[in-house]
């Protein structure tokens, strides 16, 4: 019996979310007295997969079929079900692929499923995990009553935990052939040279209080200096000031970075739903009564356009003194 | 093409969330119910395509698993423009029961749209589970939909970008933001017409839930915000490094 982590394969590379899943699977396996394994689908070099050993994964099952790059959720679920035939728990990333595959896998394994869990189970028997519900307004204690369990893990909720073991790589045949892949990809647009919002540890975000898309230069400069991603409130993307992919909140992306800057964002309940999991929130708003200050850890009642250049200078100074 | 859109009945996004005394169930007293935001966007987009291209979409059906109270939400979907509706008369105990109740009634549709999640329990499950029960492909993160030369074409969001994807029908699209700009609001004429559109009530089957909520908590209260003045902006950055250890 084992705990299996399905590691996102980002063009042959394992990113932080993958190592976090490995760390989580290893910790959960230890708690349950089981072995921690990982599954990688699609082409990846052995030395890349070996890195999972640093986070406690003893065995990596690998099917190198490049069709998995199509992100055909039905085929991926089939492959994972083969790999997880004897698993107790399978954990996937809470990204679009994970959200699309995990429920399908749960049905194949006749397993109960809980998405976006925020850490190890509070109890193993019965199996109870915590997850955010009502988009950040409450925490639910979800109890799975089947033998097998499938979960997705919220990014940045567990963190990286090193525990070096030697990972063995084992080729496995997932049983997927050409006829299992129904989707065809016509075109791909990649965003390059930017920190991805879904992976960022620091996020710099702007709202309607930024006044005009022309004022985003300062947000981008601060983000660049901090290695951060940029984000925005919904009206900002609705107005076309910023791309839709940057919209965070209830109906946009739900993020939980270590640090979230909100410039000129009022902090409507629907906005907070998407960012309240952030570890530290900094708010700059002209209005002392703005609800964002109830969610913020640090705040300035003032003009975002005046404060941004000060923040930029302060960060530059900090970097110099390093 | 026949389109089916799953309609979740969820509390208005402005709802202040409360639970019963022992915190085992959501307190629905005084709650206003709405169409789950992503479902409403999917419906809006399907209508746009249906209107823009004669014959591309033959009919739009909306479906919900829920008790009689959810009919107002289905009627709203009809008022926005769906052609017909069905409701399976069961409690939506968990995502699995919802998908299992729906599956026998979804075989005739070419494209099924489901929201990425419902804004109440944020389960991320019904759409992919239903697709698995029907053994049809599903596309996650769908932020665009069109019909080109009689074929369904989807845009989906992937880690670090987006893709244009096609699939043979029947297919399930798991919808997120972007598929339509603003949800459509029912017009008076639509509301009148919705009263006479078909809304079929289907008796449920016996299905057992696979997960349940043992309890709920409200998020821990945050410590008060530390306020700085505009002039102290640089000190705030220092506090982020030295005190919060966030830089
Ligand atoms: C179903 C539904 C879903 C929604 N989903 C989302 C969502 O996912 N994400 C989201 O963000 N919103 C969402 N909303 C919208 C949400 O209710 C708010 O309308 C929105 O978040 C407000 O955006 P904002 O704070 O940028 O703008 P505003 O509310 O206009 O606030 C602007 C703020 O900037 C401040 N300000 C103005 N000038 C300055 C200045 N020079 N310096 C500093 N501060 C300044 C003002 O005091 C004000 O607080 C949703 C709404 C609904 C109904």
Predicted confidence (pLDDT) per residue in A194-211, tens digit:
888 988 999 999 999 999
Chain B segment 93-132 residues within 8 A of A by beta carbon are: 95-96, 99, 116-117, 119-129, 131-132
Residue range A155-177: mean pLDDT, rounded: 96
Angstrom distance (rounded) from CA A251 to CA A270: 8
pLDDT tens figures, B163-177:
999 999 999 999 998
What secondary structure letter does DSSP report for A313?
H
Q: Chain B, 181-210: which have a CB under 8 Å from a chain A CB?
A: 181-182, 209-210
Distances in Å between the alpha carbon of B196 and those of A32, B61, B62, B192? 56, 15, 15, 8
- Tell me which chain B residues have a C-beta less than 8 angstroms from the C-beta of A257: none
Q: Is the pLDDT of residue A244 over 90?
A: no
Q: pTM for the whole thing?
A: 0.94
Rounded Cα distance between B119 and B109, Å, is: 25
Sign of CA dihedral A223, A229, A235, A237: positive
Q: Which atom of ligand 1 is nearest to the CA of A307?
A: 42
The answer to whether residue B226 is domain-embedded is: no
Residue B160 has pLDDT above 90, yes or no: no
Do the domain assignments include residue B73?
yes
Cβ contact (<8 Å) for A301 and B227?
A: yes
The answer to whether residue B229 is domain-embedded is no
Q: Residue A322 above 80 pLDDT? A: no
Q: How confident is the model at residue B210 (pLDDT cuts 50, 70, 90)?
A: very high
Mean pLDDT of all residues in chain B?
Answer: 96
Structural domain for B20, as ranges: 2-214
Pocket of ligand 1 (CB under 6 A): A 207-209, 233-236, 249-252, 264-266, 268, 270-271, 274, 284-287, 290, 303-305; B 13, 37
Q: How many structural domains does chain B have?
A: 1
Ligand 1 center to residue B159 CA distance, Å? Answer: 26
Contact, A157 vs B226, CB < 8 A? no
Tell me whether residues A107 and B177 touch, CB distance under 8 A.
Answer: no
Q: Using the beta-carbon criterion (under 8 Å), do A115 and B131 form an inter-chain contact?
A: no
- Tokens (6 digits) for B162: 């987006």
**B166 domain residue, yes or no:** yes
B150: distance to nearest CA of chain A, Å? 16
Average pLDDT over residues B188-198: 97
Nearest Cα residue in chain A from B180 = A238
pLDDT of residue B221: 85
- Which residue from B13, B120, B230 is facing A133, i.e. has the nearest CB? B120
B36 inside domain: yes
| Domains along the sequence of chain A with CATH | 2-180 (3.40.50.620), 202-321 (3.40.50.1220)
Alpha-carbon gap, residue B222 to B224, rounded angstroms: 6
Residue B52 lies in a domain: yes
- Alpha-helical (H) ranges within A211-303 are 216-226, 234-238, 269-275, 292-295
Residue from A261, A285, A95 nearest A208 by CA: A285
CATH number at residue B73: 3.40.50.620
| In-domain check, residue B123 | yes
Residue B5 structure tokens: 């859109």
Work out the minimum CA distance from A169 to partner chain B, whole angstroms: 25
* pLDDT of B5 above 80: yes
Q: How confident is the model at residue B232 (pLDDT cuts 50, 70, 90)?
A: very high
Task: Note whether A247 contacts B174, CB cutoff 8 Å.
Answer: no
For residue B234, give the 3-state DSSP assignment. helix
Query: Tokens 């309890």 — which residue?
Result: B215
CA distance B67 to chain A (A): 21
């Amino acid at each position: 019996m084992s705990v299996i982590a399905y590691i996102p394969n980002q063009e042959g590379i394992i990113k932080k979310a993958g190592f976090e899943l490995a760390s989580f699977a290893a910790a959960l396996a230890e708690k349950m007295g089981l072995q921690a394994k990982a599954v990688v689908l699609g082409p990846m070099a052995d030395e890349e997969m070996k890195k999972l050993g640093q986070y406690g994964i003893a065995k990596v099952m690998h099917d190198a079929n490049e069709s998995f790059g199509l992100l055909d959720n039905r085929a991926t679920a089939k492959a994972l079900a083969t790999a997880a035939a004897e698993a107790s728990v399978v954990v996937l990333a809470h990204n679009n692929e994970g959200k699309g595959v995990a429920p399908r896998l749960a049905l194949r394994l006749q397993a109960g499923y809980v998405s976006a869990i925020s850490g190890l189970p509070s109890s193993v028997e019965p199996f109870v995990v915590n997850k955010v519900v009502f988009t950040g307004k409450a925490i639910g204690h979800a109890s799975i009553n089947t033998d097998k369990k499938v979960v997705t893990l919220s990014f940045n909720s567990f963190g990286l935990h090193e525990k070096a073991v030697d990972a063995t790589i084992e080729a496995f045949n997932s049983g997927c052939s050409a006829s299992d892949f129904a989707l065809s990809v016509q075109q791909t647009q990649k965003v390059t040279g930017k920190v991805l919002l879904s992976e960022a540890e620091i996020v710099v975000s702007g709202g309607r209080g930024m006044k005009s898309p022309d004022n985003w230069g300062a947000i981008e400069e601060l983000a660049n200096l901090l290695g951060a991603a940029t984000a925005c409130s919904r009206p900002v993307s609705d107005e076309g000031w910023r791309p839709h992919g940057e919209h965070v909140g209830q109906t946009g992306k739900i993020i939980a970075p270590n640090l979230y800057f909100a410039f000129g964002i009022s902090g409507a309940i629907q906005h907070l739903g998407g960012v309240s999991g952030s570890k530290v929130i900094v708010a700059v708003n002209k209005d002392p009564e703005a609800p964002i200050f109830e969610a913020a850890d640090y705040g300035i009642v003032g003009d975002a356009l005046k404060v941004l250049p000060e923040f930029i200078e302060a960060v530059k100074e900090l970097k110099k003194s390093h | 093409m026949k389109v089916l859109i799953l309609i979740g009945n969820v509390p208005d996004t402005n709802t202040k969330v409360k639970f019963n005394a022992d915190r085992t169930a959501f307190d629905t007293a005084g709650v206003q119910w709405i169409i789950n935001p992503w479902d409403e966007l999917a419906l809006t987009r399907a209508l746009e395509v249906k209107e823009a291209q004669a014959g591309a979409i033959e009919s739009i059906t909306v479906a919900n698993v829920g008790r009689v109270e959810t009919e107002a939400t289905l009627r709203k979907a009809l008022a926005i423009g769906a052609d017909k509706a069905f409701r399976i008369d069961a409690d939506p105990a968990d995502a699995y029961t919802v998908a299992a109740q729906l599956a026998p009634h979804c075989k005739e549709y070419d494209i099924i749209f489901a929201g990425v999640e419902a804004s109440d329990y944020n389960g991320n499950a019904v759409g992919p589970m239903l697709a698995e029960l029907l053994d049809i492909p599903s596309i996650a993160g769908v932020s665009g939909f069109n019909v080109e030369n009689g074929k369904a074409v989807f845009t989906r969001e992937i880690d670090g970008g987006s893709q244009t994807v096609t699939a043979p029908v029947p297919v399930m699209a798991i919808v997120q933001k972007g598929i339509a700009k603003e949800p459509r609001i029912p017009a008076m004429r639509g509301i009148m017409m919705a009263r006479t559109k078909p809304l079929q009530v289907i008796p449920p089957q016996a299905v057992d839930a696979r997960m349940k909520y043992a309890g709920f908590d409200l998020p821990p209260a945050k410590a008060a915000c530390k306020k700085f003045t505009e002039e102290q902006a640089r000190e705030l950055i220092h506090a982020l490094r030295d005190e919060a250890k966030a830089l």
